[in-house]
Amino acid sequence: MRTLLLFDGIGSTDVNLLPELRDMYTKPENTAFFQAMLDTSDKVSAYLDSSTFTQVCPDGYTLRDWLDQKAGRSADVPQNSFAAGLCVYVHQTCQLQPARHHGNDDVASLGHSIGLPAAMIAGMRLRRMDEFIDLATAFLRLVAVTLARGHQLVATSTAHPADVDRYRARVRRGADPGPMASLSGPHRAELMSMIGAFRPNGSISISLANSPKSHVLSGPAADLLEFYFAHHETFERTGTAWSFLSNTIPFHSPHLAAAARQVDDDRSFIGKLPDGDQLRFPVYATDTPRNLQDSTDLVDEFLEQVLLRPIEWELVTRHAITDAAADRIVDYGPGAAARRFTRECLDSGGRRVRFESRKQSVASPALGGQRAMSTLSRPGRTTQGNGSRPVHPVPRHYGNSG
């Protein structure tokens, strides 16, 4: 089978990843991986100025404290996008270690938002553990510094407590008002019309088009709450589901432009990362249908696609499945959102695609996994980019050694 690897973002990580990460941490086969992750996390903490570090880790605890229970202190993960993003990245990357990952039929990968770095690492197809560790730690520096800069430099806009109480009297599910909110129901054109009429200055934008009728808005919390109050009667009449997300920064929006510029200045600490032409199979962008093997700067791609550009999931998933001629999707999680959105986007006539979780794929590789199928209207095709490009040598070391 031709397999596309799928990596979720942090939008569906309301379930605490800490117990599973701690279990991974205790397994002997993961010792080298986690030692490198913890050492790198400590270096990131030392690199950030004290005010930025306190903002993202208010109790002073780091990844090492979250995972190592031998320290004898209870270190819960902070409820912010910095901690959530780090947990997602470490969870996904641990499963890609050369000794654990045997994807001989992998032909492409796709990452939803913060899942992009794991998709890039998968695309390198590294077989030596030292090379894998070098690359994984370089990407960890990129992810951690980027998320910290996002919290440091985004303009905060908290909703008035009375408005929050008024909102909670109507909507009991989901998080308190924050910089991102999901809507299920209206089509994109309807939503854009509502946003344009409400706030023409662009403070609110569609940051993720996850499926034809599932979208996420990004913007100041106060503006999003005002938008909800202005349209809640329409939402109730049309059956639109509204919920604030637990994200603490407005991903995929112009509000994070200052953070992206600052990360450019952090490149000397982050270190050198591979170029797109070193990817050994296609890794697909999420802003528009394209193959990142053609990219000259994967750091810039990460900043643009995770911080600034909206996700066009229906367009990119249809393109990825067709371009890679994939007939199976293996989902690396940790949540189920990316898989659910992909099913919704592909569910229309034609070509059949099998979905499996990574655990199912490892448990029964011969039989396949979950018998869930989605369809694609166009037949698959193999292009010049899908496995037929020349394989470029992979430099042994990425990033800095400090």
Residue 80 resides in a domain:
yes
The pLDDT tens digits of the residues spanning 170-220 come to 998 888 999 999 999 999 999 999 999 987 677 999 999 999 999 999 999
| Residues 23 and 50 placed together within one structural domain of the fold | yes
Average pLDDT of the segment spanning 251-267 = 97
Q: What per-residue confidence (pLDDT) applies to 16?
A: 77
Q: Is the pLDDT of residue 107 over 80?
A: yes
Residue 389 resides in a domain:
no
| Residues 140 and 218 placed together within one structural domain of the fold | no
The pLDDT tens digits of the residues spanning 61-106 come to 899 999 987 655 556 788 899 999 999 999 999 999 998 766 789 9
The pLDDT tens digits of the residues spanning 31-47 come to 999 999 999 999 999 99
| Residue 162 parent element (H or E) | helix 161-170
| Residues 209 and 147 placed together within one structural domain of the fold | no
Residue 73 resides in a domain:
yes
Q: What per-residue confidence (pLDDT) applies to 362?
A: 64
Q: Is the pLDDT of residue 330 over 90?
A: yes
Where residue 360 falls among pLDDT bands split at 50, 70, 90?
low
| Residues 169 and 144 placed together within one structural domain of the fold | no
pLDDT winner (highest mean) among 11-20, 75-84, 361-370: 75-84
| Residues 177 and 126 placed together within one structural domain of the fold | no
pLDDT winner (highest mean) among 15-29, 192-206, 247-261: 247-261
Q: Which of 199, 222, 248 is the last residue of a domain?
A: 248
Q: What are all long-range contacts of 355-363, with beta carbons under 8 Å and residues at least 24 apart? A: 355/328, 355/329, 355/331, 356/328, 356/329, 356/330, 356/331, 357/330, 357/331, 357/333, 358/95, 358/330, 358/331, 358/332, 358/333, 361/330
- CATH code for the domain in which residue 172 is found: 3.30.70.3320
Q: What per-residue confidence (pLDDT) applies to 1?
A: 87
| Residues 47 and 128 placed together within one structural domain of the fold | yes
Question: What domain range includes position 177?
Answer: 161-248
Q: What per-residue confidence (pLDDT) applies to 373?
A: 42
| Residues 292 and 345 placed together within one structural domain of the fold | yes
Residue 174 resides in a domain:
yes
Q: Is the pLDDT of residue 22 over 60?
A: yes
The pLDDT tens digits of the residues spanning 264-316 come to 999 999 999 999 999 999 999 999 999 999 999 999 999 999 999 999 999 99
| Residues 230 and 348 placed together within one structural domain of the fold | no
Q: What is the mean pLDDT of the chain?
A: 87
| Residues 23 and 77 placed together within one structural domain of the fold | yes
Which SS3 state, helix, strand or coil, does residue 91 take? Answer: helix
Give the separation between CA 359 and CA 138, rounded to whole angstroms.
Answer: 26
Residue 181 resides in a domain:
yes
Residue 401 resides in a domain:
no
Full DSSP string of 18-32: HHHHHHHHHSGGGHH
Cβ-Cβ contacts under 8 Å for 316 (sequence gap 6 or more) = 110, 284, 285, 286, 287, 288, 289
Give the separation between CA 109 and CA 325, rounded to whole angstroms.
Answer: 12
| Residues 40 and 145 placed together within one structural domain of the fold | yes
Residue 121 resides in a domain:
yes
Where residue 155 falls among pLDDT bands split at 50, 70, 90?
confident
Q: Which of 230, 248, 266 is the last residue of a domain?
A: 248
When divided into structural domains, the chain yields a total of 2
Average pLDDT of the segment spanning 121-132 = 96
Residue 207 resides in a domain:
yes
| Residues 133 and 7 placed together within one structural domain of the fold | yes
Q: Which of 248, 269, 299 is the last residue of a domain?
A: 248
Cβ-Cβ contacts under 8 Å for 166 (sequence gap 6 or more) = 229
* Structure tokens given for 389: 């490009």
- pTM value is 0.89
Q: What per-residue confidence (pLDDT) applies to 384?
A: 36
Q: What per-residue confidence (pLDDT) applies to 297?
A: 96
Where residue 361 falls among pLDDT bands split at 50, 70, 90?
low
- CATH code for the domain in which residue 371 is found: 3.40.366.10
| Residues 109 and 16 placed together within one structural domain of the fold | yes
Give the separation between CA 4 and CA 283, rounded to whole angstroms.
Answer: 9
Average pLDDT of the segment spanning 132-149 = 98
